[in-house]
Amino acid sequence: MSLLPLAERLRPKTLDEYIGQKHLVGANAVLRRAIESGYIPSIILWGPPGVGKTTLAQIISHKLDRPFFTLSAVNSGVKDVREVIEKAQKLRFFDTPNPILFIDEIHRFSKSQQDSLLGAVEQGIITLIGATTENPSFEVISPLLSRCQVYILKSLEKEDLLLLIESALKNDSELAKQQVEIQEYDALLRFSGGDARKLLNVLEIVLNSIPYADIKIINNQIVKDSLQNNIATYDKDGELHYDTISAFIKSIRGSDPNAAVYYLARMLEGGEDIKFIARRLIISAAEDIGLANPNALLIANNCFQSISIIGMPEARIILSEATIYLAASPKSNSAYMAINSALDHIAKSGEEPIPLHLRNAPTKLMKQLNYGKDYLYSHSGANNFQYQEFLPKEITGTEFWHPGKNAKETEIANYLKKLWGNKYTFE
């Protein structure tokens, strides 16, 4: 019996065995073409856990027959990076292809650690493949990011996950010895959350929990019963992850600071990424509080900046303060509804011509075409306002924003009514 986990036993060795990400490695896809050409630039693989980032890096190295170094940002420092670069330099001979350095969770590298990679990437000493679950625009320094091609990996589709289960039962040396009948797939897929590694782990746990029988039957209830005692109470990548963050945001939206702090505590206790929580606070401040209390967005943004500097355990206090402030704030989704209304209008009706007097006129020809003509500079008028049309004439008078029923937006609406008279109702 193999001691390796099922996910490791089934790790693909070639692109043809690789499941999912057809937009990148399917027939004639962009990354597949690059790999098969024998040349790839430094790249960042961005996507959720368990979608094949590490596996893809290993396949690339094997396909290109290059030396392969790997570092984890969790336990590697600048010294480790420099040691790998020195080893890579010693392997370079004339036209020898660059060794590949794979860095898992590159978003966890500090600025100094990322800076230490720059020279080696620029000089072609290494080809960097970084894997990240976070938006590299925020987490990877600009000089390094500009030297890498970013590829986005998606959560696996249902068809991919079903194919993975089929492959496991058919091709794994251990599972192939067993007769397995899967009557229902919903629970297996739901607990996987689109994560291939988690799906295989769940499948293995369930099969190991079923007593010996000629045929092992799997259905939704058996999966739930098997996992009850085998999976941690809080699974930060699975179904409970999404349920908890949903309850957290809905508690803030519902103005219940006690419930919001409770769900915050559950996430922190479960090891949730504090930046993920802080980002959701920023979204909530704009979507659910908005103009009813514009300071909420400032608080949420400052919370994100602060916890990024401080880290745990003290970050819990900052998150708690921001959570309570947002939950206790008056609520309005008027900004959220306004942009959705405007986008919906454009999707259905297209884009009307921008009025000539609002257009930019940097050239003589544009001025001859009346670009910018008759525009009234607002600050030249009383109260820094001049009555003129800003919407395309086809939709003049259209209201996308409707103020919420709260003191702040009532004040804003009354101010705008004084300026615009009967043009807009602001109701």
Amino acid present at 335: A
Nearest to 166 by CA among 153, 151, 185: 185
**Pairing relation of β-strands 216-218 and 68-72?**
unpaired
Contact present, 280 and 244 (Cβ < 8 Å): no
Domain ranges for the chain: 21-152, 158-228, 239-327, 341-420
Residue 424's pLDDT band, with cuts at 50, 70 and 90, is confident
* pLDDT tens-digit series, residues 233-287: 445 455 566 778 888 999 999 999 999 999 999 888 877 889 989 999 999 999 9
CA 113 to chain CA centroid, nearest Å: 23
* Average pLDDT of the residues in 222-227: 82
| Domain 21-152 and domain 158-228 have a common topology | no
* Least confident range of 30-34, 78-82, 149-153, 251-255: 78-82
- For residue 133, the model assigns a pLDDT of 85
pLDDT digits (tens, 9 = 90+) for 373-392: 888 989 988 889 989 888 89
Contact by Cβ (8 Å): 125, 150: no
Distance (Å, whole) CA 272 – CA 279:
12
In this structure, the number of other CB atoms found within 10 A of the CB of residue 218 comes to 21
Q: pLDDT per residue over 89-125, tens digit each?
A: 887 766 677 889 999 888 888 888 888 888 888 888 8
* Sign (positive or negative) of CA dihedral 293, 299, 300, 302: positive
Question: 239-327 adopts what CATH topology?
Answer: Zinc Finger, Delta Prime; domain 3 (1.20.272)
Superfamily covering domain 341-420: DNA polymerase III clamp loader subunits, C-terminal domain (1.10.3710.10)
CA atoms within 13 A on the CB side of 71: 25
Q: What is the mean pLDDT of residues 348-369?
A: 85
Which two structure tokens, joined as six digits, stand for 28? Answer: 């004639």
Q: What is the mean pLDDT of residues 41-66?
A: 89
- CA dist 385 to 330, 349, 373, 377, 390, Å? 29, 30, 18, 8, 13
Helices (H), 38-135: 53-64, 78-90, 111-122
Position 232 confidence tier, pLDDT thresholds 50, 70, 90: very low
Q: What integer best gives the mean pLDDT of the chain?
A: 87
Query: Options 3.10.580.20, 3.90.650.10, 3.40.50.300, 3.90.1570.10; which CATH number does 21-152 get?
Result: 3.40.50.300
H or E element that contains 129:
strand 127-132
DSSP assignment string, 349-400? H--PPPPGGGS---SHHHHHTTTTTT---GGGSGGG------S-GGGTT---
Q: Residue for token digits 């350095």?
A: 101
* CATH top-level class of 158-228: mainly alpha
As a three-state string, the secondary structure of 137-177 is HHHCCHHHHCCCEEEECCCCCHHHHHHHHHHHHHHCCCHHH
User: What's the full length of the chain, in residues?
Assistant: 427
